[in-house]
Amino acid sequence: MNPAADDPAPHDQEQKRGVDILHNPRLNKGTAFTPEERDNLNLRGLLPPKYLPIEEQLDLVYENYSHKESDLEKYIYLIGLLDRNEILFYRLLEGHLEEMMPVVYTPTVGLACQRYSRIFRRPRGLCISLRDRGRVDTILANWPYRDIRIIVVTDGERILGLGDLGLNGMGIPVGKLSLYVAAAGIDPSKTLPVCLDVGTNNEELRHDPLYLGLDRSRERGEEYDELIDEFINAVRARWPRCIIQFEDFGNTNAFRLLEKYRDEAPVLNDDIQGTGAVTLAGLLGALRITKQPLSEQRIVFLGAGEAGIGIAEAIMTGMKEEGLSDEEAKQRFWHVDSKGLVTHQRAGELAPHKLLFARDEPPVNTLGRVVERVQPTVLLGVSGKPGLFNEMIVRAMARQIERPIIFALSNPTSKAECTARQAYTWTDGRAIYASGSPFDPLTINGRFFRPGQGNNAYVFPGVGLGAIVSGAKRIVNSMFHHAAMALANTVSDELLEEGSVYPRQSDIKEVSLEIAAAVAREAYRLGVNGEPEPDDLESYIRDWVWKPEYTPYG
* Kind plus residue range of the DSSP H or E element containing 315: helix 306-321
Residue 176 annotated to the active site: yes
* Kind plus residue range of the DSSP H or E element containing 256: helix 251-261
β-bridge partners, 406: 379, 433
CA distance 310 to 327: 17
Task: Give the residue from 23, 27, 5, 25 showing the smallest Cα distance to 14.
Answer: 27
- The residue from 16, 176, 354, 415 that is catalytic is 176
Specify whether the CB–CB gap between 73 and 104 falls below 8 A. Answer: no
Sheet strands (E) in 232-314: 243-246, 267-269, 299-302
CA distance 498 to 518: 27
CA distance 497 to 156: 39
Render the burial of 22-48: b for 16+ CB within 10 Å, e for the rest.
Answer: bebbbbbbbbbbeeebbeebebeeebe
As a residue count, the chain comes to 554
Write the CB contacts of 433 (distance below 8 Å, at least 6 apart in sequence).
Answer: 406, 407, 408, 420, 423, 424, 449, 451, 452, 499
Q: 391 phi and psi, to 5 degrees?
A: -60, -40
CA distance 351 to 255: 10
Report the amino acid identity of residue 370: V
**Beta-carbon neighbour count of residue 480 at 10 Å?**
31
Task: Give the residue from 384, 392, 404, 402 showing the smallest Cα distance to 300.
Answer: 404
Angle at 159 (CA atoms; ends 506, 146), nearest 5 degrees:
70
CA distance 527 to 473: 9
DSSP 8-state secondary structure symbol assigned to residue 360: S
- The residue from 105, 116, 502, 553 that is catalytic is 105
CA distance 408 to 107: 14
Q: 442 phi and psi, to 5 degrees?
A: -150, 160
Sheet strands (E) in 85-230: 126-129, 150-154, 191-197
CA distance 192 to 149: 8
Residue 105 annotated to the active site: yes
Active site residues: 105, 176
